[in-house]
Amino acid sequence: MDGESAVQRPVRALFVFPQSTHPVVNGAQVRVNLLLRHLTDDLGWEVDFYAAQGLLRRESWGENMDRLRKLFVPSPERRPRRLRQAIKFPHVRAALHKGVIEGLYKDVRDNLKRLIVMYTAANHKPTFTLHTFVNEGIANRGNEHHASPVSERLKVYDAPHYRDSLREIIESEQYDVVIVGYVWLSRMVEWLFDQPRRPMLVCDTIDVQYMREQRLQAFRSFQSFDFEKEKALELSLIAKYDAALTITEVDRDELRLGLPDADIRTVMVEMRCPPGYELDAAAYAVRRDEQHQYDLLFIGAANEANRLAALTLLRNIMPRLAERRPDISLALAGRICDDPAVRRAAMRPGVKILGYVQSVPDYYASGRVLAAPIPAGGGVKIKVLEAMAHGVPVVTTPVGAEGTPLENGVHGAIVDDNDAFTDAVLKLLGDASLLERCSLAAQQCVREELSPKKVYEAFDALPVARRG
């Protein structure tokens, strides 16, 4: 037996994701960072990461710069076109009588999209430049508002420089498993599905896109997609993988209805309380007396579900709360604060816009209750789990509580209308003893229900082996 075969090398995996892992501005990044930690630190896997978009600088990867073996970011070959044909300002002209700032925001957004299209790869070889960071320590050790339907997002990532660069990487590396984050990246690995000898292919769905879109459609004034067509497309793509991961049992059960023979596993999001933020009666008293600045917290990425929730909170619930508690205070955080409609609605007494916060634990420690009136969406709401892990009671909706261990009356409240939401918030804020009990119970629940050992049990049972 030769020396290389005498020592079995660690499992080698490639993680494919649309963006870099930092700065963390959405729940999907939280999910991926925690899963990467488990793969490398707990299981001892050698993990490479392919980001469709990103930069190879430490602030874009955080601790993963040291944790991962290799990082890959492809850049398309650019071709010149006239800028004056791409830059347009229709929203500003149309909004002069209503809101120039919002119009300018939309035009800047749309112009950026046009510029991205303008500089996409031409259809000739080579189509990409592959930027690679190799972590020598690991390599030598032992050998990111509107969530478009899957059909539209598939087109975005169905480009030569993605397919070609990813194929080059997979063919040159001996991966045991390739994990694709989001089903709409499937075109990038489509060539791999029918290969007789290939790595195990796992799709981390994050959330079931057609379910999310169907729920959001009820709050839109336009028909955005063909539900049955999108559902059939998404199921057909997931069926090609050896296994698929869901974050909630609701998503798992939905996919199993359409794919009864598929290997669908629920892998929730692990949550831990950061060191120094653990609560007992004494620690809670210190937080109450020295750190609490706001009655309510709301944090979120800039997506459609968070926009609906933030506007519901600001337009419908805060006025009700202010009538009964005039000094009520709310701190908004995250990229949702960049939304013009949210900023306008937040222009009321008691509301503070914090934007992106450097220390999430300090943000949670500053508030008494997380107020998350989430009317629609998919997957799990990371803000609910984070708040519980930090010992902050949560008032949310059935959609907001979906996939979480949040128990009504024990860790906060689960309500389904604005009046009940208002009553639940005021009940917590008006009863210091209840607020403390819910805070301590929420954090203890996370310790028991969302520990890595419990969360990753189904994932760790995957038969990871090279196909063929």
Count of CB atoms situated within 10 Å of the CB of 69: 23
Rounded Cα gap, residues 251 and 19, in angstroms = 23
Q: What share of the chain is helix, strand, coil (3-state, %, to 5)?
A: 45, 15, 40
**Residue (of 109, 81, 106, 82) closest to 92 by Cα position:** 106
**Residue (of 449, 455, 447) closest to 269 by Cα position:** 455
Mean pLDDT by 10 residues, the chain (468 residues): 57 95 88 94 94 88 92 72 53 53 71 62 49 58 52 85 91 94 93 92 92 81 78 95 94 95 94 89 91 94 90 96 96 92 93 92 95 86 92 94 92 95 96 95 93 92 66
Q: For position 6, what pLDDT does the model report? A: 46
Q: For position 113, what pLDDT does the model report? A: 64
Q: For position 156, what pLDDT does the model report? A: 84
Rounded Cα gap, residues 268 and 225, in angstroms = 28
Would you say 380 and 205 are in contact if contact means Cβ atoms under 8 Å apart? no
**Residue (of 158, 165, 157, 163) closest to 74 by Cα position:** 165
Which is it for strands 70-76 and 128-134: parallel, antiparallel or unpaired?
A: antiparallel
Question: CA dist 11 to 27, 51, 52, 174, 342, Å?
Answer: 27, 20, 23, 10, 45
46: which strand partners? 12
Q: For position 129, what pLDDT does the model report? A: 65
